Structure 1
Amino acid sequence: MKHDLDCLLQERGLDAALVAGAVHGNPAMYYMTNGAGLTSGFVLKKRDEEPLLLCWPMEREEAAASGLTVINLGRYDFVSILRETGDRLAATVKLYRRIFADLGVSGRVGFYGLADRGRAWVLLNTLDAQLEGVQVHGDFGVTPIDAARATKDPAEVEHIREMGRRTCAIVARTVEFLKSFRVQDEVLVQPDGAPLTVGRVHEEINRLLAEQRLEDPEGFIF
């Protein structure tokens, strides 16, 4: 549960955790943003403090839906930093330096979230070498975020139940969709007489998923 994060950080000797990257397909980021429909961003969790969500200006409304305190990354002016340095790695390090200085981040900081392994290796090693007063930490096994996700608080349980209700509604409407077609020679046929295809059923299921604001990144079998 999220309220266990402070204890989990304490157990690992961490002063803060930074979760970064895209939200879609990134379980740690999705969890920390409460499923907000962001493209990407950062969640900073300092020990014994509430988490902060850092996002780009165009996504501030989606960020607000997370329920977290939102910080506009535009205040750190990454474009000017990049123009000044002419190097994306150097500019990214300077961005982190500005963020950490502004938000009072120091000590042992755990980094989490999905990213290209080579790019992450270069960035984290550079941050560890160049950020004064910050020690970069990573976990090979169960991370604090993984451990927190393993148990659910009442709000999370209700969220899971709601997703189950929406999924059942989609299954029921899919059955009704199939029943709406007549049978001819043991085949479901469309109004024009053409057979109902698996592709057409997939289109309908995807439409129903969109109506319910659900995603199916792994795909489904029909």
Structure 2
Amino acid sequence: MDIKRVEQIMEKHGVDVMLVMGSTKFNSLYYLTRGANLGYAVFIKKLREKPILVHFDMERDNVAHLTDFETIPYSEMGLRELAKIKDPVESGVKRYSIFFEKFNIRGNIYMLSDHFDNNMVLILDELRKKYPNLNFVKIQKNLVTEVRRHKTKDEIDRIKEVGKKTQEALTELLEYMKTLTRDNGILKKNGEPFTIGMAKSFLRMELIKRNLLDAAGMIIAQGRDAGVPHNSGNDNEPMRTNTTIVFDIYPQEYGGGYFFDMTRTYSFGDPGKEVVQCYEDLREIQEEALNAARVGTEAKKIEEMVVDYFESKGYTTLRKDEKAQEGYIHSLGHGVGIAVHEAPRLSLYSDDVLEKGDVFTIEPGLYYPSKGFGMRIEDTVYIDESGETHNPTYLSKELVIE
């Protein structure tokens, strides 16, 4: 987390104080506390002042690395009396009042929590009445997400390391599958069918060996299921030959942290001429999109180029038919960080312009469930501080595994 970047975003939006609360299972607080493991905490950042973090006393060792913060245990805040208040709204108003007064919070305040319920709406109403000189800023964007978009070199290095290990793990699975028997499907040495569930279990173990976690789920889908973009695959289904198998893997650092996201489509044996032609087209436009992903480029322009290409080849797109269920029916990409999906967005409706520090996917796909196949190629790429785009996703894109 870059404090200067936080200040820049606050100033951009006219925010005097940022207050973020919750567990560090909440991505925004995890980011702001540089990966601290906290059951509940409150982060306070006033412009041109060091950050403040209020935390449980028993978690003091978990914040010891935050040497540029003022860290304050709850026992110093006088919050224990709040447990006697039965009304959650009254208790909430009192809690925030303690924070506002102890830290002399004034001006435009931006508040973010890992959960806003009806009580929180009522609490804010009461706080507005109690503090008429405080302006609770309404901003459509999550400001911490905006801060998180720009990755430092250290963050990019962590993402690259997750990517390296992810590709090692998938390679282990593919090499194992190459040793299996192909006889009306893919069979283990004892003649038992090798199922999608077995493939996922194998891959999860390889990820765990590398200190990665399948935190958000993975996709191994074949045939008709590969033709539905987010179908994760039927675990009980034996893996087949001569058909497309989509491997979409997006693990996270163990214990929370950075993700990597990649997809490869393979066929163990010849999937047929139509599939091969579709794949050649897909691979060609993915390469063009990768080459177009440069600093200063409007994200939607890259997507428009991809849509133009597919339409020129006769494929259906969502631009031509917004109800389409087959063809190019998925946006081009998304940012990757401590969430598997974050800014920037690469779609026809995105306002994002590619910047230094962006980490994002390029993942065109073609989907034909009625024909029994689907395919996607996805690389995670990044733009460094010099403005150069790099692609650390090196795994083979050859469709057919003989």
Flag whether TM exceeds 0.5 (same fold): yes
Q: Does 1:73 align with 2:71?
A: no
- Secondary structure of residue in 2 paired with 1:45: strand
Amino acid corresponding to residue 195 of structure 2 in structure 1? T
Structure 1 residues 205 and 124 mapped into 2: Cα distance closer, same or farther (>3 Å)? farther
In structure 1, the partner of 2:259 is: none
Q: What is the correspondence of 1:186-197 to structure 2 with a 5 Å cutoff?
A: 186-189=185-188, 194-197=192-195
- Secondary structure of residue in 1 paired with 2:151: coil
Structure 1 residues 7 and 211 mapped into 2: Cα distance closer, same or farther (>3 Å)? same
In structure 2, the partner of 1:104 is: 104
- Secondary structure of residue in 2 paired with 1:18: strand
Tell me how far 1:48 sits from its aligned partner.
Answer: 0.9
In structure 1, the partner of 2:154 is: 155
Tell me how far 1:109 sits from its aligned partner.
Answer: 1.0
Q: Deviations over 1:27-61 (max 9, x none)?
A: 42232122333344222111112323332234434
* Alignment partners' CA distance in 1, 2:175 and 2:67: 37
Tell me how far 1:182 sits from its aligned partner.
Answer: 4.4
Superposed CA RMSD in Å reads 3.2
Structure 1 residues 158 and 127 mapped into 2: Cα distance closer, same or farther (>3 Å)? farther
In structure 2, the partner of 1:21 is: 22
* Alignment partners' CA distance in 2, 1:211 and 1:75: 42
| TM-score where L is the length of structure 1 | 0.76
Q: Does 1:89 align with 2:92?
A: no
Amino acid corresponding to residue 110 of structure 2 in structure 1? G
Structure 1 residues 165 and 39 mapped into 2: Cα distance closer, same or farther (>3 Å)? farther
* Alignment partners' CA distance in 2, 1:157 and 1:167: 15
* Alignment partners' CA distance in 1, 2:78 and 2:133: 23
- Secondary structure of residue in 2 paired with 1:172: helix
* Alignment partners' CA distance in 1, 2:11 and 2:187: 60
Structure 1 residues 116 and 99 mapped into 2: Cα distance closer, same or farther (>3 Å)? closer
Q: Is the 8 A contact 1:53 1:68 kept in 2?
A: no
Q: What is the correspondence of 1:1-222 to structure 2 with a 5 Å cutoff?
A: 2-24=3-25, 26-64=26-64, 69=69, 70-83=71-84, 85-131=85-131, 134-140=134-140, 142-175=141-174, 178=177, 182-183=180-181, 185=183, 186-189=185-188, 194-222=192-220
* Alignment partners' CA distance in 1, 2:130 and 2:205: 49
Alignment coverage as a number of residue pairs? 217
Q: Is the 8 A contact 2:89 2:120 kept in 1?
A: no
Q: Which runs of 4+ in 1 moved over 6 A?
A: none
In structure 1, the partner of 2:227 is: none
Structure 1 residues 215 and 113 mapped into 2: Cα distance closer, same or farther (>3 Å)? farther
- Secondary structure of residue in 1 paired with 2:38: coil
- Secondary structure of residue in 2 paired with 1:160: helix
Structure 1 residues 44 and 205 mapped into 2: Cα distance closer, same or farther (>3 Å)? farther
Could you list the runs of 5+ residues in structure 1 that have no partner in the other structure?
none
Higher share in helix: 1
Which one has the largest radius of gyration? 2
Amino acid corresponding to residue 110 of structure 1 in structure 2? Y
* Alignment partners' CA distance in 2, 1:135 and 1:164: 43
What percentage of residue pairs aligned between the two structures are identical?
Answer: 23
Amino acid corresponding to residue 200 of structure 2 in structure 1? H
* Alignment partners' CA distance in 1, 2:109 and 2:199: 48
Tell me how far 1:220 sits from its aligned partner.
Answer: 0.9
- Secondary structure of residue in 2 paired with 1:20: strand
Structure 1 residues 114 and 130 mapped into 2: Cα distance closer, same or farther (>3 Å)? same
| TM-score where L is the length of structure 2 | 0.46
* Alignment partners' CA distance in 1, 2:198 and 2:54: 40
Tell me how far 1:16 sits from its aligned partner.
Answer: 0.8
